Structure 1
Amino acid sequence: MRILLVEDDPILALIAASTLEEAGHHIVGPAYGDQDALRLAQSQCADIALVDINLGGQDEGVSLARDLLERYGIASVFISGQLEAARNNADAALGLLRKPYEPEDLARCVAVAHAMLNGCTVLPTPLPASLEIFSPRYASDRTGAGR
């Protein structure tokens, strides 16, 4: 998959990009802010975005996730420690991978998001323990069996 990675911490962005590339994904970015992400989304194709919520202190990632979906049809997963902001804006993303997370959870998170976007009724298991799914279709069953 082509993943737009939006993370303002350069070290976390590097680790995430490396982990996802090792899992066979192509990284678009990383983008370190919302404007960088929008420029990348406009110039390069992405299948999904992994978006940190707090990109400069103002929870810009929430509006970015909405913009990516509206303008470019790119669904997002929040990657953040801003749990309340993510949950209060659950309509803007497929889910939330809570920070801190294990690096291997990133590829599993992408696999789950890919399954959701493709309408799969059963999600890949096991789900990362730090992943919250926002879609009502899947959120009620943490085992990965959809309805």
Structure 2
Amino acid sequence: MHNEAQSGRRIGIVEDEAMIAMLMSEILSREGFDVVYQVATPDEAVDNTRSRNPDIILMDVNLGQEKDGIDAAMDIREFSDVPIIFITAYSDESTLRRADSVHPEAFLTKPIRRAELLETIQKGIA
């Protein structure tokens, strides 16, 4: 049974760990969300946000590249105010300060729990 408030909500997932990305995508699809993209790099995140216009983005901070999720979010902020939820396994002070500069909707820490993920998304799109 899908909650009406969730139907039609378009979500972008930016996560370089394939298993985590698949799990999030599966959970969200089951809950009636439309996962409009699932990508692993900052550049793909920016390109897909521009072309697919999600309602909310789940963005891993550490993408195993020179650019990280915060860099991608900064680029996205140049053309979109889409709510961004950062996902991170660790959060040192300087990373949090950088992340705050793009005004994220929330932070989720790994391992991600289903209930927490859904609750955070609901708040982000309310």
Same structural fold, with TM-score higher than 0.5 when normalized by the shorter chain: yes
Structure 2 counterpart SS, 1:54: coil
1:63 aligned partner: 71
| Percent of aligned pairs with the same amino acid | 25
Residue 105 in structure 1 maps to residue 116 in structure 2? yes
Q: Is the 8 A contact 2:106 2:120 kept in 1?
A: no
Q: Is the 8 A contact 2:42 2:67 kept in 1?
A: no
TM-score normalized with structure 2 length: 0.82
2:10 aligned partner: 2
Residues 79, 38 of structure 1: CA spacing in aligned structure 2 closer, same or farther, 3 A cutoff? same
Residue 23 in structure 1 maps to residue 34 in structure 2? no
Within the candidate set 78, 87, 100, 1:90 is matched to: 100
Q: Is the 8 A contact 1:54 1:82 kept in 2?
A: no
TM-score normalized with structure 1 length: 0.71
| Equivalent residues, number | 115
Amino acid at match of 2:10: R
Partner Cα distance (1:86, 1:95) in 2: 14
Residues 2, 80 of structure 1: CA spacing in aligned structure 2 closer, same or farther, 3 A cutoff? same
Q: Is the 8 A contact 1:65 1:75 kept in 2?
A: no
> Unmatched 5+ residue regions in structure 2?
1-8
How well do the aligned residues superpose, as a CA RMSD in angstroms?
Answer: 1.6
Structure 2 counterpart SS, 1:28: strand
Most deviating of 41-50 and 69-78:
69-78
1:70 deviates by 2.1
Partner Cα distance (1:47, 1:62) in 2: 18
1:121 aligned partner: none
2:6 aligned partner: none
> Unmatched 5+ residue regions in structure 1?
116-147
Structure 2 counterpart SS, 1:71: coil
Structure 2 counterpart SS, 1:41: helix
Give runs of aligned pairs for residues 38-57 of structure 1, distance below 5 A: 38-57=46-65
